[in-house]
Amino acid sequence: MSGGSHVKPAELYKTTIAVWTTMILLSSVVFHFAVHESTIFDAILEATAAWTGTGISAFDSASTPLWLQLFRSACNWLGGIGIVMISLTIIRPKRFRGWQLAATEFPGPYFLKNESDFRRYYRRIALVYVCFSVIQFLLLLLVDMDLIQAAMTALSNSSSSGLHHINNGFVTALPTSTKAIITVFAFLSSLYSPLFLLALHRKWKRIKESSELNYYVARIVLVTVVLSGLVISKAPGGDYIKSISSVFMQVISSLSTSGYVISDMSAWPLSCVIIISLMIFTGACSFSTGGGFKVSRLIIALKMIAHTLYKQVHPNSVRPLKYDKKPLKSESVVSANLFIALFMITYLLGALLLSLDKLSLLDSLSYSQAMLTGSGIPLISPEATGLADGFSSYGKVVLSALMVAGRLEIYPLLMIFFESFWKTDSSL
């Protein structure tokens, strides 16, 4: 570990939890006083959704002041790149020099060359993030989007946060050109960020060999093909190009966990919505602004299953498990699989807690998934509006907890229930 080795691991997690809690609470004060007749629970939900980049809201976008919507989009953008990491870059505290703290906010899995590269990587990636946001903003202006709307869209979409400021995330009425720009940048935001650095160095071969990218793209193509087939078979004779493009745009929105509704799905077969909902669990690539349990973990888990089956046939084999042609440590393999198990346990427990808020079974399961993956709007839920107005104060607290759990990848939230977390000397 480079630098910061004198800092105890518990302190790192305490720092991340403290920073996130502080930012959410401070922002919720702003939301609470800015929106007339809002409760503190509405404000907490709004602030949590803003920082975690989840496309759900306590306030209708039509009646929310424009400056407040811009504030929310700015929170989306900052949350996407990591509050702790921004603080580290700006404040530069001497105690936290390594990448350990970053790992508490962006838990990985990572496939960087070495750990000391992290800070350099982070600065460059942050620069790419800024550039993408600016380019998206300019392109949206070119297609005649309003200046403030373009800014909000660029900020929220770069961080895979949904587009709550446009009709609570239901953006089906936007012009096709605008939809196309949004789709391209939602896709880019959901990719493994270090790939952009490779692109800057023109290392195309390494990009082409990236297992995560290949799998992610293949998944998008496959889902688009299957869904297009189902949509076209239900209504043959229509405009096929239009059907395929609308399916593709919604697939990108959902698989990147941006979560906005960009296509009119009312005429789609129910199977399509079920398939999309199931695919959201995996979500986007690691070290991206997207949520879910991440494509890289899925690949590792699938490789582990294949490896275990192989070992049944060849019990004495010592063939290592590889990822991007490099052998994987057994701890990394167990860790990736364990996270998937933990993710599914949290999902079921979240749904159990939500069901106490008198939600139907379908709503409990779908909202738990939408909050945990950060997608926001549960597509499968027939009455979902992008607003959390049907929830009680208790329900809003559960939604907020699930959003934070999803964004920080569960462990930091789980740690606070461990005695050893509180026992460690704190000298921050």
Partner 1 sequence: MKRIANFYGVFLNLMGACFALPLLIALIHGESSSVRAFSLVMLLCFVVSFVIRKICRSSIGSLEIRPRETFLLVATIWLIASAIGALPYMLTGAAPNFFDAFFETASGFTTTGATILNSVEELPRAVLMWRSLTQWLGGMGIIVLFVALLPSFGIKARNIAAAETPGPTVTKLSTTFSGTAQRLYIAYLLLTVAMVILLMAGNVSLYDAVNHAFTTMATGGFSTYNDSIAHFNSNYVTWIVTIFMFLAGTNFELFFILFFDSFKKVLKNEEFRLYASIVVIATALITLSLMNQGGYEDLFRAVTDSAFQVLTIMSTTGYATVDFALWPSFCLMIIVILMVIGGSSSSTAGGIKVVRLLVVFKIIKREISLKLNARTIDDIMLDRKKLLPETLSFIIGFISMYTFTLLAGTLLVSIADPAGMITNFTAVLSCISNVGPGLDSVGPTCTFSFYSNFSKFILTIVMIGGRLELYTLFIIFTSYYWKPGKA
Does 131 help bind partner 1 (rule: CB under 8 A)? no
When binding is defined by CB under 8 A, the residue of 21, 22, 39, 271 that contacts partner 1 is 271
Does 329 help bind partner 1 (rule: CB under 8 A)? no
Does 176 help bind partner 1 (rule: CB under 8 A)? no
Nearer to partner 1, 183 or 257 (CB): 257
Does 310 help bind partner 1 (rule: CB under 8 A)? yes
Does 333 help bind partner 1 (rule: CB under 8 A)? yes
Report in angstroms how near the CB of residue 359 gets to partner 1 at its nearest: 6
Does 6 help bind partner 1 (rule: CB under 8 A)? no
Report in angstroms how near the CB of residue 214 gets to partner 1 at its nearest: 19
When binding is defined by CB under 8 A, the residue of 63, 114, 266, 312 that contacts partner 1 is 312
When binding is defined by CB under 8 A, the residue of 352, 389, 392, 394 that contacts partner 1 is 352
Distance CA 123, CA 105 (A): 15
Does 4 help bind partner 1 (rule: CB under 8 A)? no
Does 215 help bind partner 1 (rule: CB under 8 A)? no
Does 411 help bind partner 1 (rule: CB under 8 A)? yes
Judged by CB under 8 A, which stretch of 42-50, 185-193, 238-246, 416-424 contacts partner 1? 416-424
Report in angstroms how near the CB of residue 162 gets to partner 1 at its nearest: 21
Report in angstroms how near the CB of residue 353 gets to partner 1 at its nearest: 9
Report in angstroms how near the CB of residue 340 gets to partner 1 at its nearest: 6
Nearer to partner 1, 130 or 345 (CB): 345
Report in angstroms how near the CB of residue 355 gets to partner 1 at its nearest: 4
* CB half-sphere exposure, 72, CA atoms < 13 A: 38
Judged by CB under 8 A, which stretch of 113-121, 136-144, 173-181, 354-362 contacts partner 1? 354-362
Does 302 help bind partner 1 (rule: CB under 8 A)? yes
Residues that bind partner 1 (CB under 8 A): 8-10, 13, 226, 230, 269-271, 273-275, 277-278, 281, 301-302, 304-306, 308-310, 312-315, 317, 319, 330, 333-335, 337-338, 340-342, 344-345, 348, 351-352, 355-356, 358-362, 364-366, 380, 411, 414-415, 418, 420-421, 424
